[in-house]
Structure 1
């Protein structure tokens, strides 16, 4: 069949077969128009075919996606810069691409950590970067000192025992954050500042509101881990960034409103570069945040007899806070401590002590530390006796656990079955991510909960039911998706052809589904 290719103002005809792939057509176009394509460490130059508003993949066959005789396909040449580095996040187990040119190798590690923070949302003092050989990279060194090449995959490691805590901050799960807070008071305060920073970056309002109630100020610097307070000369400049700066960089309007309502000093809080949140929102092009901050900064604070512009009110409040801090420091005069660490506290110095940033889980990082078992006495039904169970370990204290009485065992099993059914009905987050993305594009009727919704002859014989189940399992084994998931996937692909009517999109989806069923059999 003959199709037409539109490329840079030209429209040329090509005679091809209906079973040819998109990749074969790209090769024909490259040879006909003599287009130089390249791919190296820094980037690649490639062809892209567009039909009916959808970008065609190389593995697609023309007949499957509804391309008929005399169809016109648009061809464009695109250039893509490859990431300078990849960073493997040990917490999320994802590879984060870091864009940059060849000259990034001549910069310091501190600049690379700034780029990583903007990507992953972790404060600089929470993690360290390591080379593929496992060497820790220090902020004062350049990337060339570690003999790195373009495209190298680095590893991001966090403090030992913090993996679960940071996962809770990423998801905005307040209960997980509360469970994995440290018992040490200095570390606990630092963790709360980190949690508020990440809640501001990712927009978790519930977690941010809880931390604000704990007394953490949004205009207070995150700082460094208490174990690193003696290394002030080598601190990254971004350790003085505040949670309000993270909200401004990420464009989290709701979090910004909550912070400003908590303290108007957030409007004039400066980052290490001397920028206030308004300047940062303008830099990152967050229009809604800019409009809100401008309205707030040029408003007035009203009192019964007079009113003050917001800028003057902020300056007065800052002056009062400085006066209060000066009164407190004059009590100690020459005893003003530079460091907050005390005798007996743990101190970590780069290059001299063993690093505690290896991303170990809480139990592994604790080593031989003994954890208290949870108290289950509150879960016992009232008014009934319970049988105590003692647990001993070495010379530890004896802990008595109360279990439900034997008479309620059947009731307990029923509750367990109900919970298992509820969990089975709810798909896991990581497994259903692709399905949810497809469902957002293609609305489908919900799965029917009626057992007798099919005609009587549908399950008329046991052999028919067995054949249906076996074919479904066979399809899932070869394809990796259930028949319903495969239908959602095919409809999502067909919906990319926005210029085609809905019935034609449905026909493309049916063809793709048929091909996906036939391929494993062949």
Structure 2
């Protein structure tokens, strides 16, 4: 049976049998046209045969798909890039591919964190990366410093005791989040900011509304864990990102509306690059969000006797808040009050202290672990003298159990 193969402007005839597979024809075409096909860690080149607009699979037989004599089959060479790295997320137990060129390995770990945050929705201050050998990776180093190969799998670890809490945030389950909140006041405030960021990214409205009622603002930066407040030089630039920026990046229109209704100050909140939520939505091409934010930005705030443009109104509110926050500092005459860490608090420094980001689980046990139920076989002296098989109603009133002291 004679068929024609169209390849890059050429059309050549081939004599084949009707019981040949597509894979066998591909080998014939490769040898005839001297097509260099390759497959390595970076990607692969392969042939595709197209007939009547459909791609033929390698295991198909020509006669079974209705290819007759003098039919023309189109042949194309395709390239497929393999992911440079894989990230194993301990929280979701998923393997996230990171696309790009080999030049990504020459960049810093901080850039990889930025890419992963856009994919998984977790603030970069709650997790760290580990090499396949288990070494912790620091933001200031490049990926090549850890001798990574193309296609390597990195492990994403979170703070100890946070795995269950972050799972609740990703699911938008308010009850799970409440159950695994920290007992430390400073860590508790940080967890609420993290929960609002994650809820904004994934569009969990119920969790967002609950956290806003707790006093957390959408224009408040997530920041870093209290254990790392003294490590400003090694902080990632994205720690100043706010929940409203996460909602803008993900295109969560309902969350943006909730944030604006709660406080219009989020309209002028700037990210590390100096962009407001409107610019972020334009960058990520979220048309509905752009239309809504433009309408709000150019609206007017009306009062009984006068009206103010939204931009001027926001500037007045920001000036008022700065003045209110400045009052406690003047009252106590102590500039050191801006530091929240105190003597005896835990401080973690990269490379010097034992890490606390190993994704260890935190289990809250109900009740007192030392509590023991009373032994029901214990009897009073009156019971020991009586026969257990002949207990009257009067004796039952005298039976007393030994309860643990309150």
Query: Residue 106 of structure 1 contacts residue 143 of structure 1 at CA under 8 Å; is this kept in 2?
Result: yes
Query: Residue 227 of structure 2 contacts residue 346 of structure 2 at CA under 8 Å; is this kept in 1?
Result: yes
Query: Residue 329 of structure 1 contacts residue 336 of structure 1 at CA under 8 Å; is this kept in 2?
Result: no
Q: TM-score, normalised by structure 1?
A: 0.66
Say which SS state the counterpart of residue 212 (structure 2) adopts.
helix
Q: CA deviation at 1:184?
A: 1.9
* Distance in 1, Cα, partners of 2:17 & 2:173: 55
Q: CA deviation at 1:26?
A: 3.0
| Equivalent in the alignment of 1:85 | 85
Q: CA deviation at 1:149?
A: 2.3
Q: CA deviation at 1:246?
A: 0.9
| Equivalent in the alignment of 2:214 | 214
Distance 1:19 1:319, change over 3 A: farther
Question: Does structure 1 residue 141 correspond to structure 2 residue 141?
Answer: yes
Say which SS state the counterpart of residue 87 (structure 1) adopts.
strand
Distance 1:149 1:185, change over 3 A: same
Distance 1:399 1:256, change over 3 A: farther
| Equivalent in the alignment of 1:160 | 160
| Number of equivalences | 373
| Equivalent in the alignment of 2:251 | 251
- Cα RMSD (Å): 2.5
Q: TM-score, normalised by structure 2?
A: 0.84
Distance 1:276 1:57, change over 3 A: farther
* Distance in 1, Cα, partners of 2:197 & 2:373: 38
* Distance in 1, Cα, partners of 2:176 & 2:204: 14
Q: CA deviation at 1:23?
A: 3.2
* Distance in 1, Cα, partners of 2:319 & 2:349: 36
Distance 1:40 1:264, change over 3 A: same
| Equivalent in the alignment of 2:365 | 371
Query: Residue 348 of structure 1 contacts residue 354 of structure 1 at CA under 8 Å; is this kept in 2?
Result: yes
Q: Deviations over 1:187-222 (max 9, x none)?
A: 121111111111111122222122112221111111
Q: Deviations over 1:383-406 (max 9, x none)?
A: xxxxxxxxx85xx24579xxxxxx
Q: Deviations over 1:116-168 (max 9, x none)?
A: 11121111111000111111011111222212222221111111111121122
| Equivalent in the alignment of 1:42 | 42
Normalized per residue, which structure has more helix? 1
| Equivalent in the alignment of 1:312 | 312
Query: Residue 329 of structure 2 contacts residue 337 of structure 2 at CA under 8 Å; is this kept in 1?
Result: no
* Distance in 1, Cα, partners of 2:246 & 2:338: 27
Question: Does structure 1 residue 200 correspond to structure 2 residue 205?
Answer: no
* Distance in 1, Cα, partners of 2:299 & 2:115: 35
* Distance in 2, Cα, partners of 1:108 & 1:24: 46
Structure with higher Rg: it is 2
| Equivalent in the alignment of 1:420 | none
Which stretch of structure 1 is more off in the superposition, 44-53 or 189-198?
A: 44-53
* Distance in 2, Cα, partners of 1:217 & 1:263: 8
| Equivalent in the alignment of 2:227 | 227
The 5 Å alignment of 1:266-277 reads 266-277=266-277
* Distance in 1, Cα, partners of 2:62 & 2:214: 61
* Distance in 2, Cα, partners of 1:268 & 1:222: 17
Distance 1:311 1:17, change over 3 A: farther
